[in-house]
Amino acid sequence: MITGRREAWTGRLLLILMMAVTLLPFLSLFVTALHPSGTYPAGLAWPGDPQWGNFLRAFEAANMGALLWSSTLIVLGVVPISIVLGTMAGFAIGHLRVIGGRLVFLLFVLGLTLPFEGVITPLYYQIRDMGLLNTRWAIILPLIGLFMPFSVFWMRAHFVNMPGELSESARMDGANVWQLFRRIHVPLAMPAISSLGILLFLWTWNQFLLAIVLVDDPAKRTMSGALGAFQGQWGTDIPLLCAGSLLILTPTLVIFLVFQRHFVKALLQGSLKG
């Protein structure tokens, strides 16, 4: 391919510019977070005396330990169950081709584009009547339901492409459907399952609407919902608010940087299929 020197140069410049715009908000949060607590810093200016202690104070003020634990519990409640249920249904619809599966599949597809705001009001009353308001179950159970369309859709897309011989030879060895699923298909589906897990983790961790409507106590919310409360509580102290915001977005950031290749792949595939 003939690439002009100038073209390559413009490309690099454009990329650097894009990255600068992407990083600017993080930089601004960071610099502001280092100003003395209680001041009102203007623009991007490195403070004369950087207050690294603000992060420690924000960690305590935001009750980060409890928040991390709460978000982890919620993720542990949502992700494994969603994966198991989604994989089973995807297997039955995509591979076993259950009678009537197409219709059920269509029913699930209908929910793919559902805005959560559409069901939040009845969900509130439903959760209240179940006596689950202000518990983590109020976030966990609805999220599993709300993630079902995507999980089923995603896993079906994987199982539809699995060759039938696989199952045939296993059946000849006398395996029943469950053994077939557990021993042959789940191991083969691991790449699809781990991508799904990453996406579900991210969506759960960052879920805001359900958290603020269904759970009042920030310490029982997701990270995102807790950040909303933190903003309400520490809005007068801008450096502290910025430090807290940075702390609250750190966990996903760290996990992203560690697993970035999987993340990018999962997100790209996720949006292509969804």
Asked if 206 is part of the footprint of other proteins (rule: CB under 8 A), the reply reads yes
Asked if 72 is part of the footprint of other proteins (rule: CB under 8 A), the reply reads no
Cβ-contact 44, 27 below 8 angstroms: yes
Asked if 213 is part of the footprint of other proteins (rule: CB under 8 A), the reply reads yes
Asked if 69 is part of the footprint of other proteins (rule: CB under 8 A), the reply reads no
Does the CA dihedral 31-32-36-42 come out positive or negative? Answer: positive
Residue type, 204: T
Q: Which of 198, 181, 199 is nearest to 189 (CA)?
A: 181
| Length of the chain, in residues | 274
Minimum separation from the CB atom of position 74 to other proteins (A): 14
Asked if 58 is part of the footprint of other proteins (rule: CB under 8 A), the reply reads no
Span of 1-9, 50-58, 61-69, 187-195 interacting with other proteins by CB under 8 A:
1-9
CA distance to 159, 164, 179, 183, per residue, from 173 (Å) = 21, 15, 11, 12
Beta carbon nearer to other proteins, 1 or 49: 1
Residue from 46, 48, 129, 187 touching other proteins (CB under 8 A): that is: 129
Terminal-residue alpha carbon distance, the chain: 34
Residue from 73, 76, 98, 184 touching other proteins (CB under 8 A): that is: 98
Residue type, 109: V
Span of 52-60, 62-70, 134-142, 186-194 interacting with other proteins by CB under 8 A:
134-142
Cβ-contact 47, 41 below 8 angstroms: yes
Minimum separation from the CB atom of position 80 to other proteins (A): 13
Cβ-contact 151, 83 below 8 angstroms: yes
Asked if 119 is part of the footprint of other proteins (rule: CB under 8 A), the reply reads yes
Determine the size of the site formed for other proteins (CB under 8 A).
122
Asked if 153 is part of the footprint of other proteins (rule: CB under 8 A), the reply reads no
Residue 21: CB atoms within 10 Å: 9
- E strand residue ranges, 13-170: none
Q: Name the packing angle between helices 64-91 and 190-205 (round to 10°).
A: 140
Beta carbon nearer to other proteins, 97 or 183: 97
Binding mask 215-234 for other proteins (x = CB under 8 A): -xx-----xx--xxx-xxx-
Count the alpha carbons within 13 Å of 93 in the hemisphere toward its beta carbon: 25
13 vs 62: CA distance, rounded Å = 39
Minimum separation from the CB atom of position 183 to other proteins (A): 15
Minimum separation from the CB atom of position 56 to other proteins (A): 20
Asked if 148 is part of the footprint of other proteins (rule: CB under 8 A), the reply reads yes
Asked if 49 is part of the footprint of other proteins (rule: CB under 8 A), the reply reads no
Asked if 99 is part of the footprint of other proteins (rule: CB under 8 A), the reply reads yes
Asked if 21 is part of the footprint of other proteins (rule: CB under 8 A), the reply reads yes
